[in-house]
Amino acid sequence: MDLVPALEEPLKKVLGPATAKVMAEHLGLHSVGDLLHHYPRRYEERGQLTHLADLPMDEHVTVVAQVADARLHTFASAKAPRGKGQRLEVTITDGSGRLQLVFFGHGVHKPHKELLPGTRAMFAGKVSLFNRRLQLAHPAYELLRGADDAVEAVETWAGALIPLYPATAKLESWKIGKAIQTVLPSAQEAVDPLPESLREGRGLVPLPEALLKIHRPHTKADIADAHARLKWDEAFVLQVALARRRHADAQLPAVPRKPAPDGLLSAFDDRLPFTLTDGQQKVSKEIFDDLATDHPMHRLLQGEVGSGKTMVALRAMLAVVDAGGQAAMLAPTEVLAQQHHRSIVEMMGELAEGGMLGGSEQGTKVVLLTGSMGTAARRQAMLDLVTGEAGIVIGTHALIEDKVQFHDLGLVVVDEQHRFGVEQRDALRGKGKQPPHLLVMTATPIPRTVAMTVFGDLETSVLDQLPAGRSPIASHVVPAADKPHFLARAWERVREEVENGHQAYVVCPRIGDEEDDPKKARKSAEDEAEKRPPLAVLDIADQLAKGPLSGLRVEVLHGRMHPDDKDAVMRRFAAGETHVLVATTVIEVGVNVPNATAMVIMDADRFGVSQLHQLRGRVGRGSAAGLCLLVSEMPEASPARQRLTAVASTLDGFELSRIDLEQRREGDVLGQAQSGARTSLRVLAVIEDEEIIAEARQEATAVVEADPELTGLPGLRTALDALLDEEREQYLEKG
């Protein structure tokens, strides 16, 4: 059944080509249905104003306030040398704070006439800092008139609640509001995706009513009804999509893989110089149970940096080799693939030399396969795979190429899932005679509900205790702008660590040899606020070597270096020959140097919370305590600084991932893959709506079990088709 044509009507027919173009380009809205699902971010009440005191920097805001005073200044400038330049400064207030508006040049005439003291209006623009004061330059505004004034204004602002929409510089909130009023009658024709029994059982309003209430509420209760209903839509439709995927996966056949009683796995366990943590044993049991079944395992293994995920994955791979299969481990970068290969060969000792002289009887061959290997080495590795000589292969996506053939692929381990697309997962799956078992690992802690939403097609295991012998990490924020002497002290601390026989990392956001147009590199909002590009590895390394760290051996590492050079740098650092490594985030994943105890992250405010947490996990990997210094020039009250303070205050990755989620919009968390997707989460807040998501998952599973094709629920099928347009399908699978 097709979507009701009224909601498929393209916006350019309804709103005219100019507005439709801006909506498509800036908000990704193409049809009447898209626009109806563009919900208000919040509501202004007449008489109750946004607090000017809490305005976020660098964001497009809409405020309702009253003009306190307006002054016209003339000045001389290059464009108006005779003192004919004009600048209108308007101060607005809402009782909580004041805000300066500025208009220049010819733009001053209209506001000068209209923005008289006492006038109330909605203002929209981007908050910036000028002379240490917040201001809006050239804001768009809409006067709020009294009841007897212009009829249109009253119509538009009818009702006590003014919806404020997520807007852009090109399209203010009230223009979006007017467009929505135009298409609102079509909401009557929206098809309801929720099964009747579910909707009535939970007392949810029908979809057309929810759409009317969210865009034109008369009371706060209207908004609450609409939210409750629309949250269920989002949670339920998404969970049905995931439940169908789980259902389809469960129908696939797989070869059960049970380790031989005294084979490779037990030989490996006997060699271990330490005992596994309880967490490792529990998770291993979950994995071994899955491997023993005759449909493919799909499991997500979450564990903090250093919680011993690699050990768990290796034991799973050995179990599969024991059972006559092969295991492949996919790493996102060559550096990481090489490192996994090194550490696995070290952990296995002679067990990794199966079939070689001096190797163990029970052993197997562990091969590495990456894009930059020489032809001869590659050919040998591929031969070992196709003959079954190699039980374990570790590689980058070079493993997925058509040419690579396996003897009998039984298990695929994917490290750092968020860097692997579903096409790659499926291409590798296709290499087995039957679908192989799949274990996905991530060191980015994910709150339970996000895991249910993003990785809803996988079962989840969590490793949350650190193995013995790991040291705590102390983290501190270094406010370079307010307290420059703190930064000087940071470099002294690095010297002290080196004098004590340790090593340090310095991390920068950028490499510094960019050949791009410098204008392009500077477009992010924060850069514009600061008028300087992010600090670069090559510049900082140079300054440190000549200045505060002179006399120490400083090297650089970044993604554009030749793989051999990268490897050589990493080897010298691992061997302790280099004191300080100045790097980009290439070190974020998996670099393991137990002797590195200090890390200084420059422009730390330009990294996300979970990325900072990942980076910090590179120090304190040995017995000496770790130190992480987060350097930032952002002012103390800014959200960026609050983020850094949160990272400095806890080492619990799950706690941080919640903070991260509360600070960012869900869209980012659900993966960049979502940026192309039409229906990102709009009203569902992954953290607050934990219960709805969990309940929706149960309901969805039951619906799919009973009717996998959803034949009895045409409305739900329609909603799924809208959700799972191409991009969406991929987004769900990529997670």
How confident is the model over 583-640, as pLDDT tens digits? 988 776 556 788 999 999 999 998 888 788 888 888 877 778 899 999 998 888 788 8
3-state secondary structure of 97: coil
Give me the chain's average pLDDT, please. 81
What percent of the chain has pLDDT above 90? Answer: 28
Is pLDDT above 50 for 2? no
Q: What is the pLDDT of residue 415?
A: 84
Give dist(CA 302, CA 313) in Å, integer.
12
Please state the rounded mean pLDDT for residues 89-99: 85
Q: What is the pLDDT of residue 495?
A: 94
Give dist(CA 631, CA 479) in Å, integer.
6
At residue 5 the predicted structure's pLDDT band, cuts being 50, 70 and 90, is: low
Residue 171, beta-bridge partner list: 168
At residue 148 the predicted structure's pLDDT band, cuts being 50, 70 and 90, is: very low
Is pLDDT above 60 for 120? yes
Q: What is the pLDDT of residue 694?
A: 87
Q: Which tens digit of pLDDT belongs to each residue from 686-722?
A: 667 788 888 999 999 999 999 988 888 888 888 888 7
Please state the rounded mean pLDDT for residues 110-114: 89
Which residue type, as a one-letter code, is found at position 453? Answer: T
Structure tokens belonging to residue 692: 């709805």
Please state the rounded mean pLDDT for residues 271-280: 87
3-state secondary structure of 146: coil
Q: Summarize the chain as % helix, strand, coil (round to 5).
A: 45, 20, 35
Task: Return the exposure string of 666-701: e unless at least 16 CB atoms fall within 10 Å of the residue's CB, then b.
Answer: beebbbebbeebbbbbbbbbbbebeebbebbbebbb
Give dist(CA 618, CA 596) in Å, integer.
8
Please state the rounded mean pLDDT for residues 230-239: 89
Name the DSSP letter for residue 31.
Answer: B
Tell which residue, 63, 83, 61, has the closest CA to residue 72. Answer: 83
Alpha helices in 551-601 (DSSP H): 563-574
Please state the rounded mean pLDDT for residues 452-477: 78
Q: What is the pLDDT of residue 652?
A: 78
Q: Which tens digit of pLDDT belongs to each residue from 634-693?
A: 888 788 888 899 889 887 777 787 777 666 544 444 443 333 333 356 777 666 778 888
Q: What is the pLDDT of residue 150?
A: 41
At residue 211 the predicted structure's pLDDT band, cuts being 50, 70 and 90, is: very high
Burial of 552 (0-12, 13-18, 19+ CB in 10 A): middle
Q: What is the pLDDT of residue 674?
A: 32
Is pLDDT above 60 for 158? no
Q: What is the pLDDT of residue 356?
A: 60
What percent of the chain has pLDDT above 70? Answer: 82
Tell which residue, 354, 384, 387, 381, has the closest CA to residue 369. Answer: 381
Please state the rounded mean pLDDT for residues 429-449: 80
Is pLDDT above 70 for 542? yes
Q: What is the pLDDT of residue 59?
A: 67
Structure tokens belonging to residue 435: 């679908």
Q: What is the pLDDT of residue 121?
A: 85
Please state the rounded mean pLDDT for residues 505-529: 60
Please state the rounded mean pLDDT for residues 253-273: 89
Is residue 93 within 8 A of residue 117, CB to CB? The reply is: no
At residue 365 the predicted structure's pLDDT band, cuts being 50, 70 and 90, is: very high
Mean pLDDT lowest for which of 9-13, 128-132, 138-142, 511-515? 511-515
More confident residue, 463 or 3: 463
More confident residue, 149 or 360: 360
Measured CA distances, 560 to 31, 492, 591, 611, 686 (Å): 42, 30, 17, 20, 36
Rounded to an integer, what is the distance from CA 573 to the centroid of its chain? 30
At residue 494 the predicted structure's pLDDT band, cuts being 50, 70 and 90, is: very high
Is pLDDT above 50 for 733? no
Q: What is the pLDDT of residue 668?
A: 45
3-state secondary structure of 63: strand
At residue 580 the predicted structure's pLDDT band, cuts being 50, 70 and 90, is: very high
Is residue 254 within 8 A of residue 434, CB to CB? The reply is: yes
Is pLDDT above 90 for 224? yes
Q: What is the pLDDT of residue 520?
A: 45
Q: What is the pLDDT of residue 627?
A: 93
More confident residue, 163 or 579: 579
Q: What is the pLDDT of residue 28?
A: 84
Q: Which tens digit of pLDDT belongs to each residue from 16-66?
A: 888 889 888 888 888 888 889 888 888 876 544 456 766 777 666 777 788
Alpha helices in 547-650 (DSSP H): 563-574, 609-616, 639-649
Q: What is the pLDDT of residue 437?
A: 92
Q: What is the pLDDT of residue 392?
A: 94
